[in-house]
Amino acid sequence: MSKSINIVTSTAVPLDIENVDTDQIIPARFLKATSREGFGKNLFRDWRYLNDDEQQPRREFVLNDPTYKGKILVAAKNFGCGSSREHAAWAIKDAGFDVVVSSFFADIFKNNALNNFLLPVQVSEDFLQKIFAAIEKDPAVELKVSIEDQTITISSTGEQSGFDINNYKKTCLLNGYDDIDYLLSIRNEIETFEATFTR
Amino acid sequence: MGKTLFEKIWDKHVVKQIDGGPSVLYIDKHFIHEVTSPQAFQGLEKRGLKVFRPQQIVATADHNVPTLQQHLPIRDELGRLQVQQLIANCKKHDVELYGLGHPFQGIVHVIGPELGITQPGMTIVCGDSHTSTHGAFGAIAFGIGTSEVEMVMATQCMLQSKPKLMRINIEGELNKGVVSKDIILFIISKISASGATGYFVEYAGSAIRSLSMEARMTICNMSIEMGARGGMIAPDETTFDYMKGRLFAPGAAQWDRKLAAWKELYSDADAVFDKEIQIDAAAIEPMITYGTNPGMGMGVTGHIPAESEIDEKEKPSFLKSLNYMGLKPGAEIKGKKVDYVFIGSCTNSRIEDLRMVASFVKGKKKADDVEVWVVPGSKQVEKQAIAEGIDKIFEEAGFQLRQPGCSACLGMNEDKIPAGKYCISTSNRNFEGRQGPNARTFLASPLTAAAAAITGEVADVREFL
Ligand code: SF4
């Protein structure tokens, strides 16, 4: 699944809800699979369907609204709080998103996302509101996210914001390698550490 | 400058520091369970690897196991598959498994401490956010995702950036009817469900010192509910007494050396925290949540905030949440009818919790139209409860004592709260749908839950003490 990402230019799906927790992103009853694939169809399951019935989509929920599509999910503050389930990141990625934008991410979610080449872009509350406003004005507006430059740009207005990502993670994303590759490469250093470690 | 408790443990476990990046952190103990491990084993095998240090992993089946008739095959096919997969993976990779039918089986965060596997000074991880529970022993313990589970299986290490540090000091004496669950619900209600994001929290102060290990675990358990990476409490005599004689605790030959090392585990007087918060224990009441995140809590006799008290920006989520709960802004919850009472989960399913409930309900009966489930945290807790006659007290009260597992904490097995029903629960999350689609959850202490079981409504336990 490792694959590098650098620039993502796309329309965006606005999810203007705060404190979206991982139980909403992927309800626990869908955690019974033993592989990583196929979680996308249950993304936001209980917000998407009435009574868990695919024949009864909730029209008002943004993921059911054909006006909005794209590879970027824009969410309000404190996205991904709650459980450590990586299934949340898998579901978002599997549903076709490469980037999630919010003004605040829960820690574990952020790590899980990065480990799956799903980029969490944290912007100020102000800039987030600008994005929501731009999408509301024109759902076809594109956002451009560049990992190399660490910037996110609203194409219609040209407004731009930077975002943080540590150098190590940036290199991983740009080159498509992950933490496990790195840790495996230093396994003899780990063994040396163990030999001198007093328990 | 002195070091914090966190820094003492962290520094000792750093294998390597990456320039401008995270640290390579060595992990002492790794707990796994059936839900977040299969994909990690699969990833490992895809890379052609074996588990690097199998002796440092302990596995159990807890998240989706049934809590009735555990000796029968699991009826839910997918759930059964996950449990079978865990058995096969553990066998193949020589990992110790306390699965269904084993006398040590139980919720992962209950069994680690009770078996003495969890020890002061350790780094502990598990693919479950409530791993913070183990911090009650003065360990760095936190939840991880499945890719990280795979990482630790492959190398016994993970990449972590050092978090910011917060200390919460709770001083003074607790009021009658107030227990550790109320302390943590109170803290979260004050600083919000995201108030400690990016931080690791140390709990300190005289109120914390006075608590038992079980009570401390309840507090550390819910650290994640305010966004913290984890919570911890410096070990002291209470900790050492608890450890002594546990199955996997250091034996007589090791004890003195270990104890001396554990006694060094405290924040130095001149250690610096990025943030400190003071809490007056006397200000804490029995707590209850009214919304759909654990920060939406208040004293049990309080009122839900009125619309006018809520920030304009927060209003939509506040109203959405109350709408889900079927509650009105400004209303009281005391006296609200409940349909279910759930006493369980890694927050409050230890023997002390069951004793607390039993001593309250002894000789009383549950209200007619309430269903009460008590789900012990482990086989050992269950056995102890039976040995003490607690099972009889529950039976006479009309409570169902079930078998160990996560149960209605997350509703992955059959223990779901029906849509629209109200459940007062000793678990840790009141998210939408957490206990079943459209289920409505009030989080509270075991005492407050017990009072609701008897009266059939949200009650102030202080009126009965
Ligand atoms: S009891 Fe609930 S919170 Fe605890 S480990 Fe199980 S599912 Fe997670």
Predicted pLDDT at B1: 84
Query: Mean pLDDT over all residues of chain A?
Result: 92
**A31 interface with B at CB cutoff 8 Å:** yes
Q: Encode pLDDT of A65-108 as tens digits.
A: 999 999 999 999 999 998 889 999 999 999 999 999 999 999 88
Q: Is the pLDDT of residue A3 over 80?
A: no
Nearest to A104 among B143, B146, B194 (CB): B194
> What would the DSSP string read from start to end of B242-270?
HHTT-TTS--HHHHHHHHHHHTT-S--TT
Give residue B314's identity as a one-letter amino acid code.
E
Please report where in the chains the tokens 């060595």 appear, as a residue.
Answer: B26
**pLDDT tens-digit map of B440-453:** 999 999 999 999 99
Confidence (pLDDT) at A163: 97
Give yes or no for residue A36 having a pLDDT over 90. no
Q: What is the pLDDT of residue B20?
A: 81
Are β-strands A142-146 and A151-154 bridged in parallel, bridged antiparallel, or unpaired? antiparallel
Region of B156 please: left (phi>0), alpha (psi -120 to 50) or beta. Answer: left
Atom of ligand 1 minimally distant from the CA of B345: 1
Contact A81/B43, CB-based, under 8 Å?
no
Predicted confidence at residue B324, as pLDDT, reads 97
Name which of A106, A58, A3 is nearest B145 in CA terms.
A106
CA nearest to B277, candidates B209, B189, B213: B189
Q: Which of B:162-181 have CB within 8 Å of A?
A: 163
Check if B99 contacts A (Cβ < 8 Å): no
Interfacial A residues in 139-178 facing B (CB < 8 Å)? 166-169, 178
Asked if B194's CB is within 8 angstroms of A78's CB, the reply is yes
* Range list of H helices, B96-245: 108-114, 146-155, 180-191, 206-209, 213-221, 237-243
* Residue whose CA lies nearest to ligand 1 atom number 2: B409
Torsion angle of the four alpha carbons B134, B275, B442, B208, in this order, in degrees rounded to the nearest 10: 50
Quote the pLDDT of residue B260: 97
Residue B19: the pLDDT is 87
pLDDT tens sequence across A172-184 = 999 988 899 999 9
Q: What is the pTM of this model?
A: 0.93
Write out pLDDT tens, residues A115-149: 999 999 999 999 999 999 999 999 999 999 999 99
Nearest chain A residue (CA) to B416: A29
Low-confidence ranges of chain B (pLDDT < 50): none
Q: Which residues of A touch B131 (CB under 8 A)?
A: 84
Q: Give the one of A89, A104, A168 whose C-beta lies nearest to B22's C-beta.
A: A168
Cβ–Cβ below 8 Å for B24 and A190: yes
CA distance B412 to B63: 7
Distance of CA A26 to CAs A22, A23, A59, Å? 6, 5, 19
Chain A interface includes B48 (CB < 8 A): no
A29 vs B343, higher pLDDT: B343
Q: Which atom of ligand 1 is nearest to the CA of B108?
A: 5
Q: What is the ipTM of this complex?
A: 0.91
Q: Give me the pLDDT at residue A1, please.
A: 45
Return the H-helix or E-strand segment holding A145.
strand A142-146
Share of chain A above pLDDT 90, in %: 75
| CA angle in degrees (0–180, nearest 5) for B185-B191-B192 | 75
Residue A82: predicted pLDDT: 85
Contact list in A for residue B24 (CB cut-off 8 A) is 183, 186, 190
Q: Hunting for tokens 């090392």 — which residue is that?
A: B261
Cα–Cα distance, A80 to A44 (Å, whole number): 12
